Structure 1
Amino acid sequence: MLRLEVVALYAGVNILILLVLAVLVMMGRRKHKIVLGDGANEDFNRAVRAHANAAEYIPAGLIGLVLLALLDPAVPLWLLHAAGLFLTAGRIFHGVGLHTGALNAGRGAGILLTWISFLLIAGGLIYAGFAQQL
């Protein structure tokens, strides 16, 4: 599997996560008859926050993965898979966790996995940046 194909896999799944969360927001708007804002509805607000949080984290993670893939020789393939898997699992856990309650293990695990992904991506990019200079 080529590096950009690895990234394509994780990008596709994460875009689907964003789509599912967006559909849940739309369905919540219809169900609660909310046209703008969150209508002070706690359930709907959780759906909005789940989508917004994913929209905040997923693009940065995917941009980092693409850059890692493009820095071909300096970045091992396992790093792309680890970062992509942690990002994807983290976004799933966090989205489900936000939908099921205010504070729970899903949210905690989700953000932890996402942050581990970001650390892997950041470390890989910094390493690759220096490796290209040497």
Structure 2
Amino acid sequence: MSIVLAHAHNPSADAAFDFALAEAVAHHCKLVIVNSSRGAALADPALASDEQLTALEARATAAGVAVEIERPMRGNDADAEVLEAAEQHSAKMIVIGTRHRSAMGKFILGSTAQRIIMDADVPVVAVKPPKS
């Protein structure tokens, strides 16, 4: 069993990671972190740096959680990559970070979170960043 974290480099990422890590500890699950890009370019702003992912891995390991990091760059949308990882790793849940976007932004770009929530075969937990 695993918990899949859809990790994008945005303000909700830390809150989502904290929640996913706590759940992995509580349920003795592996944590699978999926950080995806649509193309093969590492310049995508949604991609975390190697240093950021290494830091997440170190935090999970220090908490006693096995962790696997996936950075697929096959041209698929992030939702497809997260859902595929959930299936491959027999996920018991998917954790996603949410952020506020305008209605027009959602219309033009779609909503990765919404597609994951609607298409997942397992529970999805949406975590928002704390108010500053």
TM-score band, normalised by shorter chain: under 0.3
Judging by fraction of residues, say which structure has more helix.
Answer: 1
* TM-score (normalizing by structure 2): 0.26
* TM-score (normalizing by structure 1): 0.26
Q: Tell me which structure has the larger Cα radius of gyration.
A: 1
Judging by fraction of residues, say which structure has more strand.
Answer: 2
